[in-house]
Copies of this chain bind each other. A is one copy, B any other.
Amino acid sequence: MSRHPVEIQIEIADKAIIAEDFDLLMSIYTDDAILVIEPGRNAVGKTAIRKAVEAIAVYFKNGLQVEQNGLEILYSGDTALVLANTVVSGPGFPATERKATYVFNKSPSGIWLCSIDNSYGHEVIGKYA
């Protein structure tokens, strides 16, 4: 079965996170993307997202590992919803599986970009005052 372009983008993003290649990582996001840093706290826009992922890298002692333990993509036109079992680990951080949700939009030039990055899934409910 051929792989969906969104799946390839997620693979690139995961490798970029591990390699701390933030230029590459940022190329996966839309300009006005939203990233859930932790339930109740979001970063909006590329500048804020870059700052957040750089801080997250340091928090994980520059050893953040991320992999997908199964994912499914539902798409409709130029919108795709990703349901993923995302496993996060690092030095001193035992592997934790998150029920992640990502939304991708197909740009006018045909590239799928992440507009909503919520690795915490339903953990966000009720966390925004």
Give A residues with C-beta under 8 Å from B.
Answer: 30, 32-34, 36, 42, 44, 70-72, 74-77, 79, 81, 83-85, 99, 101, 103, 105, 115-116, 118, 121-122, 124-128
Copies, count:
2
CB distance from A99 to the nearest CB of B (A): 5
Whether B83 lies near A122 (C-beta < 8 A) is yes
Overall SS of chain A's interface? strand
Task: Give complex CA distance A85, B126 in Å.
Answer: 11
Whether A125 lies near B74 (C-beta < 8 A) is no
CB distance from A108 to the nearest CB of B (A): 13
Whether B126 lies near A83 (C-beta < 8 A) is no
Task: Give complex CA distance A37, B121 in Å.
Answer: 21
Whether A77 lies near B115 (C-beta < 8 A) is yes
